[in-house]
Amino acid sequence: MFAGHSERYSKIKNDPILHPDLLLELCAWEYDTVAFYERPWLHNLQQWYTGQRAYGPWTTHGALKKYLGAWYKYSANRERSYPHHLSHAAAGFQTSPFDRAIVVVIDAIGEFDTISIYAAEYMDGQAQYRKLWGQRYPHSIGLFYSAMTARVGLRPMEEEYILMGMAAYGKNTGASLIKSAIIDNEWNLTFNQNLHAGIDSEFLGNMSDMDIATSTQAFTENLIYNVMRRAKNFGFSSNLIYMGGVALNCLANRNLGDYFKNVWIMPNPGDAGSSLGAAALAYGKKINFKHAYLGHSIGGNYPVNSLLDSLLHDKITGVASGRAEFGPRALGNRSLLADPRGSDIKDRVNKIKRRQQFRPFAPVILAEYADEYFDMPSGWSDTSYMQVVARCRYPDQFPAIVHADGTSRIQTVVKGTDSGIRELLEKWYVVTGCPMLLNTSLNIRGEPMVNDRADADRFEQEYGVRVWS
Ligand SMILES: [Fe+2]
């Protein structure tokens, strides 16, 4: 019925605090159960153990219950909290098209778990999870990637995607140094130092930031694929569910088809999406998950003709229409759209977004033309969510949406998609013969994605780009 992000209501990016008083959609209903995505006492113990300060008022189950109960008028007095990695797993499995799958969860740290492999299946309609293997703090692929993000001067736990973008520009000259300095056992995923507080600022000191990024990405991919090999070796299923913050690495995701026949990553694989996983665990059954347009609704028809006109005349336009996307990507309902052809578009959109010039934008394309324009990755039956890169066959024609390594983070749109972006692409294709647009999220710099019409109005004022509703 609804899934949303606290940050889109408080307007504080990555806001860790729940705002039930702001998420009015949630307060409109009565509940029989409230589900939380980690064990409060275990999380608190982890924070104490790792020397962090607790950030929430839910340090114990009782406190969580009191905190939630202050806002939610759930009637049956049922509240549940679930293990963090299990919440990730359920968010993936119970939204997936599979009845049986291997679930891999990789994140920085959740309670004490860092990597988990589960066997998941339905028995009498109820989802069952059996843990097959796991790795625990401080051995963590996510913490390694975050430490390297900080090493090049970016914000850890936030700007990992920028490090990934930089990886296209450097050379992989640091792999053996990383291996000897940090890794204890590559197959068992054990590290010989705790990277939670970062890594020595002198580490790889003679290398450029771009080379560090390339080496980090390549090394991380090796570690991820080791986990995938191990998961595959259990022989439980050729279906893969992959969740956790590391599953946002769309570059590493391109090779998952080498290990599994079918891949599903829920469009919100990070911690925010685990809210859905906790709810799924409380529900127990398969969820009828059709799309990610589950958030705040801006009413009215999708402004197809206005957008088409703007694109033809100005080449860049904004849209805030229908329900907001659940997950980190704008998929056409809160998007800045542009003509992907021509050499000046990337600079023009970058100027609006005020971000690093080296970073590319993503294409959104009519699904039936995807193979014609891109070398699509194997194993992905659903590429609707900008989760994986594909090599563009005509990089010279579309410089704005192709990265320096020749890949694009693709979003395909099938017929029947629950967003007007499909109709817009169809009409755009009829007029221009081009089946794709550039699509980037609509957000004011430093703020979360535009949520309501008031946000869209502020965007228009700030950047002088019309946002149609
Ligand atoms: Fe997590």
Taking the centre of ligand 1 as the mean of its atom positions, its distance from the CA of residue 10, in whole angstroms, is: 21
Taking the centre of ligand 1 as the mean of its atom positions, its distance from the CA of residue 467, in whole angstroms, is: 34
- pLDDT, the chain, mean: 92
Taking the centre of ligand 1 as the mean of its atom positions, its distance from the CA of residue 428, in whole angstroms, is: 39
- Each residue of 428-445: pLDDT tens digit? 999 999 999 999 999 998
Give pLDDT, residue 272: 93
Span 220-236, average pLDDT: 98
Taking the centre of ligand 1 as the mean of its atom positions, its distance from the CA of residue 396, in whole angstroms, is: 39
Taking the centre of ligand 1 as the mean of its atom positions, its distance from the CA of residue 157, in whole angstroms, is: 11
Span 306-318, average pLDDT: 97
Span 464-469, average pLDDT: 96
Taking the centre of ligand 1 as the mean of its atom positions, its distance from the CA of residue 424, in whole angstroms, is: 36
Taking the centre of ligand 1 as the mean of its atom positions, its distance from the CA of residue 89, in whole angstroms, is: 10
Taking the centre of ligand 1 as the mean of its atom positions, its distance from the CA of residue 68, in whole angstroms, is: 21
**Which of 296, 291, 237 has the alpha carbon at shortest distance from 119?**
237
Taking the centre of ligand 1 as the mean of its atom positions, its distance from the CA of residue 112, in whole angstroms, is: 10
Taking the centre of ligand 1 as the mean of its atom positions, its distance from the CA of residue 262, in whole angstroms, is: 23
Q: Between vectors from CA 293 to CA 406 and to CA 20, what angle results, nearest 5°?
A: 120
Taking the centre of ligand 1 as the mean of its atom positions, its distance from the CA of residue 139, in whole angstroms, is: 14
Taking the centre of ligand 1 as the mean of its atom positions, its distance from the CA of residue 273, in whole angstroms, is: 9
pTM listed for this prediction: 0.95
- Each residue of 382-430: pLDDT tens digit? 999 999 999 999 999 999 999 999 999 999 999 999 999 999 999 999 9
Taking the centre of ligand 1 as the mean of its atom positions, its distance from the CA of residue 270, in whole angstroms, is: 6
Taking the centre of ligand 1 as the mean of its atom positions, its distance from the CA of residue 84, in whole angstroms, is: 6
Taking the centre of ligand 1 as the mean of its atom positions, its distance from the CA of residue 223, in whole angstroms, is: 18
Taking the centre of ligand 1 as the mean of its atom positions, its distance from the CA of residue 296, in whole angstroms, is: 24
Taking the centre of ligand 1 as the mean of its atom positions, its distance from the CA of residue 272, in whole angstroms, is: 8
Give pLDDT, residue 75: 45
Which range has the worst mean pLDDT, 58-62, 359-363, 368-372, 427-431?
58-62
Proportion of the chain above pLDDT 90, given as a percent: 78
Taking the centre of ligand 1 as the mean of its atom positions, its distance from the CA of residue 320, in whole angstroms, is: 29
Give pLDDT, residue 35: 87
Taking the centre of ligand 1 as the mean of its atom positions, its distance from the CA of residue 374, in whole angstroms, is: 32
Taking the centre of ligand 1 as the mean of its atom positions, its distance from the CA of residue 386, in whole angstroms, is: 20
